[in-house]
Amino acid sequence: YADVNLDSAAAYYEQLLQTTETHTYAHLHEKNLRELAKIRNHQGQTQEAYKLLDSSYTLVKERYYQNLEDKVAEANAKYEAEKKEAEIARQNLLISEEKNNRRIILITTGIVLVGLVLLGQYLINRQKRQRKETELALYIEQQRAKDMENLAQAKTDLFNNVSHELRTPLTMIIGPLEQALHQIKNIQLKSEVEMALHNSRRLTGLVNEILDLSKLDAGKMEVEMSEVKILTFIRRVFHAFRSLAGSQQIELIDNISENEWENLSVQTDFNKLEKIINNLVSNAIKYCKSDGQVSIHLQYEELKKGILNFSISDQGPGISKEDQAHIFDRYFQAAGNIQVSGTGIGLALTKELVQLLDGMVSVVSDGKNGSTFRVEIPVLVLDKDSIRKVEQASQPPTSPVEPRLTFSRNPRVLIVEDDLQMAKYLKSLLSEAYECTVAYNGRQAMDLLQKSAYDLISSDIMMPEMD
């Protein structure tokens, strides 16, 4: 400012200061103050120059603080904006997360529901499949049971038919043989006829055993209780084997002694009891050695308690421990020291008959020195009053007996038999004492009965046209 008119310059800047102050140009106003301070300093007005500089610095500070406040405000605004944006972003994130969670929940719920539906469908299908399998298994089992029942019935029918067809020719064999036996004088021929008769009866017994087994299998064998004098009955059945035992040089030992129980009566199925004793005695004779003994024992004390306890012993080769476990099985034959032919039916039938009578049968043997078969069967022992009433009832009446019927002619007999040879044989047996008429089926027999009266009818079973 050395070459410049300081007063004019000062006046110029003062005018500028008014203009900048009026229009609030803070930056230019602060600059003009500094320029005017320089001019005043050159003019020697140092104090005025300091005032102008102070005003300038004040404006600078104000502008600085203003800028600072603006920056702080801007920063705060930016912070608030960013905070707001962050909050919005957070809210959006929360909303997004909530949506995702909802989506996940919906998806999970859907998967669970689908899984439950599939599981339920699987369980339902499995239950249906199991029910079908159960129904199928039940149906198969029912069919198998039905087939087994039909098979058992067919087997029973077969046995019945076979036994019926066998009995007819056996009867026509045994009958003539028995008649011829009384007429034959030749000893050798008589022995041969006796052997044929024995084997025919043996075959008849086998047929009867098979028929009994078929009845047991079919559940058609019933217990028929009746009164019998037990000691007399057992002794009679046992002694019926004396002829057979004697032919094989075997001695029968009867250990049933006569005592106060001799006339004791009991109720039991004596037909089945007879078969039991017959099977055990015949089996003992079959396996007993020559010159041996077959004996029977009875426990009297057990009989008093209502238990028929008897045993049959032989002096055969015995039965091993291994064979004793199966000796009562069907078709089983023990391996003894001697070879004896048989079917393995007798002891099995014996056991089943004993069980049918609620009894039990057992065997005792050391495997070397014979065998003992023991039978225990419950019986109903009749007390003395019952026995006395039975005996009185069995005595003949004291009233006059009606005279025996007499015929002015031979009695008339109707023979109903579809087998021609059997019909011929029966007629030949009866024709000497009876007037015989033959019908070859049930219907023909009924027609004859409607036309005439007969004193006796001898009828076969399982007849053609009408049974």
Q: Which of 33, 39, 23 is CA-nearest to residue 61? A: 33
* C-alpha separations of 459 from 106, 338, 442, 463 in Å: 91, 45, 9, 9
The DSSP call for residue 163 is H
Q: Residue 73 burial by CB count (10 A; 0-12/13-18/19+): exposed, middle or buried?
A: exposed
Residue-level pLDDT at 397: 47
Whether the predicted pLDDT of 49 surpasses 50: yes
Of 1.10.560.10, 3.40.50.720, 3.40.50.2300, 3.30.420.40, which CATH number belongs to 412-459? 3.40.50.2300
Residue-level pLDDT at 393: 45
Question: Which of the two residues, 15 and 327, has the higher pLDDT score?
Answer: 327
Q: In whole angstroms, what is the distance from residue 401 CA to residue 121 CA? A: 89
Helix (H) or strand (E) holding 372: strand 371-378
Residues 6+ apart with CB under 8 A from 50: 37
Convert the pLDDT of each residue in 391-433 to its tens digit.
444 444 444 444 555 555 789 999 998 888 888 888 888 888 8
Mean predicted confidence (pLDDT) in 189-209: 81
In this predicted structure, which of 3-7, 58-62, 116-120, 216-220 has the lowest mean pLDDT?
3-7
Q: Is the pTM of this model over 0.85?
A: no
Whether the predicted pLDDT of 97 surpasses 50: yes
Contact call for residues 350 and 328 (beta carbons, < 8 A): yes
The Cβ of residue 15 has, within 10 Å, a number of other Cβ atoms equal to: 11
Question: Which of the two residues, 92 and 379, has the higher pLDDT score?
Answer: 379
* 196-211 burial: b if 16+ Cβ within 10 Å, else e: ebeebbebbbbbebbb
Residue-level pLDDT at 391: 46
Locate the domains of the chain by residue range.
224-394, 412-459
* Fold adopted by 224-394: Heat Shock Protein 90 (3.30.565)
Residue-level pLDDT at 176: 83
The DSSP call for residue 330 is T
Whether the predicted pLDDT of 3 surpasses 70: no
Convert the pLDDT of each residue in 128-166 to its tens digit.
888 888 888 888 888 888 887 777 677 667 766 766 677
436, amino acid identity: C
Contact call for residues 207 and 166 (beta carbons, < 8 A): yes
Q: In whole angstroms, what is the distance from residue 295 CA to residue 253 CA? A: 4
Contact call for residues 332 and 326 (beta carbons, < 8 A): yes
